[in-house]
Amino acid sequence: MNQRIIPALLFTLGLATLAGCSTPSVITLTDGRQIQTVDTPKFDEEAGFYEFEQLDGKRATINKDQVQSVKEL
């Protein structure tokens, strides 16, 4: 029985760690639209774009000139 408990505990601990890493955010655009993201958007300084994952799981990018603000939920 002890052989099953240890892997189950490690698995649960791993899932809890991964779940705690996501920080949902809202990107407000200059035209007033809002985009919800799964994680905090990453800003690529060289390209001038924000990269993020939408709620439906698709990756997207948006130009920094179109972004008014980025707020965590």
Domains present along the chain, CATH in parentheses: 23-73 (2.30.30.100)
State residue 20's pLDDT score. Answer: 54
Hey, which bits of the chain come out as E strands? 25-29, 34-37, 42-44, 49-53, 59-63, 67-72
pTM of the predicted protein model: 0.69
Confidence bin at 64 (pLDDT 50/70/90): very high
State residue 19's pLDDT score. Answer: 56
Dist CA 21 CA 4 (whole Å): 27
pLDDT at 1 over 60: no
pLDDT at 8 over 90: no
State residue 43's pLDDT score. Answer: 95
